[in-house]
Amino acid sequence: MMFLGSLCLILLVTKLAGHFCNRIGVPAVIGELLVGIVIGPAMLGWIQPDEFIHYFSEIGVIILMFIAGLESDLKLLQKYWKPALSVALLGILFPLALGFFCGEIFNLGFQSSIFLGVLFSATSVSISVQVLKDLKKVDTKEGATILGAAVVDDIVVVILLGILVSVFHTNGGTEEPFVESLLRKVVFFIVVFAVSKWVIPILMKIANKLLMIEAVVTMALIICLAFAYFADYMGMGAIIGAFFAGIALSQTKYKHTIEQKIEPIGYAVFIPVFFVSIGLNMDFSGIGKQWIFILVLTVVAVLTKLIGGAFGAKLTGFNWKSAAVIGAGMVSRGEMALIIGKLGLESNLLSESYYSAIIVVIIATTVIAPFLLKYTIVKQDESLLK
């Protein structure tokens, strides 16, 4: 029954760490990740990355991606689709190209270099949204564009990730012919689209009529797990399926009910274990020799999102001050990059020798992002007062 003690310790320490991080203006997810480093093999060794941690963290990441899909506001995207699309695509293209270039310079290998580009193409605007709320900028055109671009960014990066995992056959199976691999992807997206459009609305109506406690939420979880299983079976990765299940359910009238019920389940138990598991897998034995890699990649990660997003905004009519705000709002990699990094390690797309260094870079961008966003907003407000 040791796993009960491990779970108790993880939940207690992550909530305390998250509280103190929020008090000093640092994202709570950073505190949860640091807990994994402190209580894991890297320092105290109280918790080991065993089978219990593995399965709980797998459920945690599936729920986290499901919530990310649920929070995708496609109506907002429809309203601001031109600037959102421009910001997202240029904000993906710049880090994708320069991330790959950095990987090649530091001899990560072709597959790992491509993966590095995809990883740093991701964005996580949950932290940026909090800054926008604090400064009363959520309802501005800049705020709406950041949120719309985040939806596009998530969808494109998740698709790229699924293709990358599938193409390079990294899960240890027999190599699959390219045509067959491509066909499986096409079948996956056709089935997901068809089920999302015609089956899910019926299932949710049936669930709503069942005389059972939380039948709607249970049906949502069934759909999430079914999509995750199907995606994994088709070689796309379970998190891709969970994400698209969230998007599908976000289009139903049950969206807010599901969000309100799923988030406590995820954030109370499973998601903290996932973030702790990332820290448990970190090894700092050779990281002192990688400080140049960390520094270069951090600078590249921040500037490529900032410049790519700003150029995307400028192309659709924003002035440079507003464009800078939008670019800064896309800098944070946060949860999405941490999820991709963990998947890369498990899928052999990312070497263990570079994993810890890349997590440090993700942490750095996540901490830098809110300060950068505040700075650009202050500069924009100063220019409006002149």
Q: What angle do the packed helices 352-385 and 110-119 form, to 10 degrees?
A: 30
Domain boundaries along the sequence of the chain: 2-385
- Of 134, 146, 125, give the one whose Cα is nearest residue 76: 146
Say what the pLDDT of residue 25 is: 77
Angle at 257 (CA atoms; ends 252, 260), nearest 5 degrees: 130
Say what the pLDDT of residue 286 is: 73
- Selected residue with higher pLDDT from 335 and 130: 335
Q: Is the pTM of this model over 0.75?
A: yes
CA distances from 153 to 72, 119, 378 (A): 11, 12, 26
What CATH number should be reported for the domain whose range is 2-385? 1.20.1530.20
**Tokens describing residue 246:** 């969230």
Say what the pLDDT of residue 175 is: 55
Q: Is residue 382 predicted with pLDDT exceeding 70? A: yes
State percent of the chain over pLDDT 70.
Answer: 96
Say what the pLDDT of residue 244 is: 94
Q: Is residue 169 predicted with pLDDT exceeding 70? A: no
Say what the pLDDT of residue 178 is: 62
Chain-centre distance for alpha carbon 380: 28
Q: Is residue 171 predicted with pLDDT exceeding 80? A: no
Residue with tokens 């993966």: 115
pLDDT in tens, 344-370: 888 888 888 899 999 999 999 998 998
DSSP state of 79: H
Q: What is the mean pLDDT of residues 16-23?
A: 90
From the CB of residue 197, how many other CB atoms can be counted at a distance below 10 Å? 11
**Tokens describing residue 114:** 């491509």
- φ and ψ of 174, to 5 deg: -70, 150
- pLDDT band at residue 29 under the 50/70/90 scheme: confident
pLDDT in tens, 204-255: 999 999 989 999 999 999 999 999 999 988 877 889 899 999 999 999 999 9
- Of 13, 24, 67, 49, give the one whose Cα is nearest residue 267: 67
Say what the pLDDT of residue 254 is: 95
Average pLDDT, the chain: 89
Q: What is the mean pLDDT of residues 101-117?
A: 94
- pLDDT band at residue 172 under the 50/70/90 scheme: very low
- At 384, which amino acid appears? L
Say what the pLDDT of residue 173 is: 47
pLDDT in tens, 260-312: 999 999 999 999 999 999 999 888 877 888 999 999 999 999 999 999 999 99
Distance CA 329, CA 51 (A): 37
Residue 349 near residue 115, CB atoms below 8 Å: yes
Q: What angle do the packed helices 352-385 and 28-39 form, to 10 degrees?
A: 160
- pLDDT band at residue 41 under the 50/70/90 scheme: very high
Q: What is the largest CA-CA distance in the chain?
A: 66
